């Protein structure tokens, strides 16, 4: 099928929007008509050359939309379902997946980050002249449609606004999961969050949700510290002023278990417990994607969302 997509051809250059070809989903894949996708800082890292992804590539990995077609082996979703395309695509068969840690899947991350392909090592995207295009994180959602692994297509409730909950595909779930899944913050405890972008602010709202008594927000921008206060931070600190002991621990993608965590995060948002909508400070059409990227680089927005 033909669709419009935003392509990164050269580092530190604007994305180019053009019509491209997208193959049908394979047996264990899903075709999603995208409704919205977040602009995550990981996309910006690729543009700046901080992450080694082959070019030309279609970026984007916070997609949400409507299932249009499924492969013959797909059982978890069907055409018409609303889904969030989780950044945590996983095989479901390796040791990590079998012990309940799909976020450290032994197969998919290497494929996604190094080769820019789908999990089976092949690609579904190409230019009109036949030139192949790489996928970012097995998703490539800076486009009108995306083919994703079945495990990455997480069904969500019909009344969920996709232009908000798309943030749960990566950034918001990473911040929330860092608090509830990894750090396991308890009521009455103290939390310090360094960096109040989309992930940090999600961590702050999750800390507030679980009843942390003292929530310290640390950043260099007053506008982000102000948002942190709105989301539950009890103390805000300009980054250069911070002294004190810290414990650092790794947390891959918020230790996300997509089919379990994302629907309950959506439920918490719909119940008014996780104000994800406050993170969305700009909405853009695909033709304005470079404006969204520049606004994010300039720190003008918390999270930009591309809508289709």
What's residue 254's pLDDT?
A: 63
In the block, tokens 């494929």 appear at 111
Q: Which among 61, 141, 196, 251 is annotated as catalytic?
A: 61
Residues linked to residue 7 through DSSP beta bridges, in sequence order: 16, 58
Fold adopted by 173-252:
Rossmann fold (3.40.50)
Q: How many CB atoms lie within 10 A of CB 18?
A: 12
In the chain, residues under CATH classification 3.40.50.720 are 173-252
Specify whether 41 is catalytic: no
CATH 3.90.180.10 spans which residues of the chain?
2-171+258-307
Q: Helix or strand or coil: residue 228?
A: helix
Cα 155 to chain centroid, rounded: 15
Predicted structure pTM score: 0.89
Q: For the segment 61-105, what is each residue's pLDDT rounded down to a tens digit? A: 999 999 999 999 999 999 999 999 998 777 778 888 888 888 888
Structure tokens at 121: 């090592």
- pLDDT tens per residue, range 9-26: 999 999 999 999 999 999
> Model confidence over 173-219: pLDDT tens digits?
999 998 998 889 999 999 999 989 888 999 999 999 999 999 999 99
How would you classify the pairing of strands 82-85 and 125-127?
Answer: unpaired
Let me know: does 222 contact 236? Beta carbons within 8 Å: no
Architecture of domain 2-171+258-307: Alpha-Beta Complex (3.90)
What are the structure tokens assigned to 202, written together? 């999600």
Cα 201 from Cα 220, distance rounded (Å): 14
- Is pLDDT above 80 for 241? no
**Beta strands at 214-219 and 190-194: parallel, antiparallel or unpaired:** parallel
pLDDT digits (tens, 9 = 90+) for 283-294: 999 999 999 999
Tell me if residue 170 is catalytic.
Answer: yes
Task: State the pLDDT confidence band at 120, using cuts at 50, 70 and 90.
Answer: confident
> d(Cα 277, Cα 226) in Å, to the nearest integer?
16
Better-scored residue on pLDDT, 142 or 109: 142
The active-site residue out of 42, 86, 89, 173 is 42
110: number of Cβ within 10 Å: 11
- What is the Cα–Cα distance from 304 to 291, expressed in whole angstroms? 10
Catalytic residue among 91, 138, 170, 196: 170
């Amino acid at each position: 099928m033909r669709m419009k997509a935003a392509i990164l051809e050269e580092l530190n250059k604007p994305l180019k929007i053009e019509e491209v070809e997208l193959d049908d989903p394979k047996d264990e894949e899903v075709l999603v008509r995208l409704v919205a996708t977040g602009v995550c800082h990981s996309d910006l890292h690729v543009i700046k050359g901080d992450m080694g992804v082959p070019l030309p590539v279609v970026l984007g990995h916070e997609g949400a939309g409507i299932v249009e077609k499924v492969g013959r082996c797909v059982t978890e979703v069907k055409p018409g379902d609303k889904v969030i395309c989780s950044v945590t695509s996983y095989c479901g068969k390796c040791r990590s997946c079998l012990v309940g840690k799909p976020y450290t899947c032994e197969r998919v991350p290497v494929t996604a980050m190094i080769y820019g392909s789908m999990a089976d090592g092949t690609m579904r995207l190409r230019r009109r002249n036949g030139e192949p295009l790489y996928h970012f994180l097995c998703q490539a959602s800076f486009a009108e449609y995306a083919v994703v692994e079945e495990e990455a297509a997480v069904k969500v409730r019909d009344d969920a606004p996709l232009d908000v909950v798309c943030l749960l595909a990566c950034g918001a779930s990473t911040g929330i999961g860092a608090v509830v899944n990894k750090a396991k913050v308890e009521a009455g405890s103290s939390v310090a969050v360094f960096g109040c972008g989309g992930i940090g602010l999600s961590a702050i709202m999750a800390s507030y949700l679980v009843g942390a008594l003292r929530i310290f927000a640390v950043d260099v921008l007053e506008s982000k510290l102000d948002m942190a206060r709105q989301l539950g931070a009890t103390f805000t600190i300009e980054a250069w002023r911070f002294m004190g002991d810290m414990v650092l621990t790794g947390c891959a993608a918020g230790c996300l278990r997509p089919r379990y965590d994302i629907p309950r995060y959506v439920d918490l948002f719909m119940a008014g417990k996780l104000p994800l909508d406050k993170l969305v400070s700009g909405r853009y059409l695909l033709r304005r994607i470079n404006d969204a990227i520049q606004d994010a680089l300039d720190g003008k927005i918390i999270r930009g969302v591309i809508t289709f």
